[in-house]
């Protein structure tokens, strides 16, 4: 009876280790596929910018802001966050720049606002979504270096 129990435990452990290996292999293949680029990225020229407003906007100002931003060359989308008093917009950086859009669309409204700039510390850390010191961050880095 003890021999059968040990054999069941052995096969259970082999199955669990095999499953863990298959899941890890799937993760490695997924990361490899995601970081290997054969051609140009589909959105490589789309950039996002944010402007923070120092006071809440009224409905007339919101309508004017949307109109001004929409009229700018290269604007793809506009996301207005009235709760946090900011606007985020995406644009084609071959057609326009964040500073030009800010000057032509937002600054001319004479609203107290400032363009969001990333701090030096945040620039050093890279992608805000990925923690480079975590297991997945290190694994992604290793796979990326091996493939590219």
Total domains, the chain? 2
**Residue 113: per-residue pLDDT:** 92
Q: Answer yes or no: do 23 and 61 share one domain.
A: no
**Residue 49: per-residue pLDDT:** 93
**Residue 130: per-residue pLDDT:** 67
Q: Answer yes or no: do 14 and 76 share one domain.
A: no
Q: Answer yes or no: do 31 and 51 share one domain.
A: no
Tokens representing 8?
A: 């069941």
**Residue 129: per-residue pLDDT:** 64
Local mean pLDDT, 10-residue blocks, the chain (148 residues): 85 96 92 76 87 92 92 94 92 93 88 88 69 77 76
**Residue 128: per-residue pLDDT:** 63
Q: Answer yes or no: do 88 and 27 share one domain.
A: no
């Amino acid at each position: 009876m003890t021999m059968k129990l040990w054999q069941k435990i052995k096969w259970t452990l082999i199955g669990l280790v095999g499953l863990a290996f298959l899941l890890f292999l799937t993760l490695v293949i997924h990361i490899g596929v995601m970081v290997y680029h054969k051609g140009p990225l589909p959105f490589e020229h789309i950039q996002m910018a944010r402007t923070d407003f120092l006071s809440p906007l009224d409905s007339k100002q919101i309508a004017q802001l949307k109109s001004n931003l929409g009229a700018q060359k290269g604007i793809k989308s506009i996301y207005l966050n009235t709760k946090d008093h900011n606007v985020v917009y995406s644009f084609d950086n071959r057609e326009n720049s964040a500073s030009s859009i800010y000057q032509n669309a937002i600054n001319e409204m004479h609203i107290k606002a400032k363009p969001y700039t990333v701090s030096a510390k945040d620039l050093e850390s890279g992608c805000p979504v990925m923690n480079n010191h975590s297991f997945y961050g290190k694994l992604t880095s290793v796979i990326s270096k091996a493939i590219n």
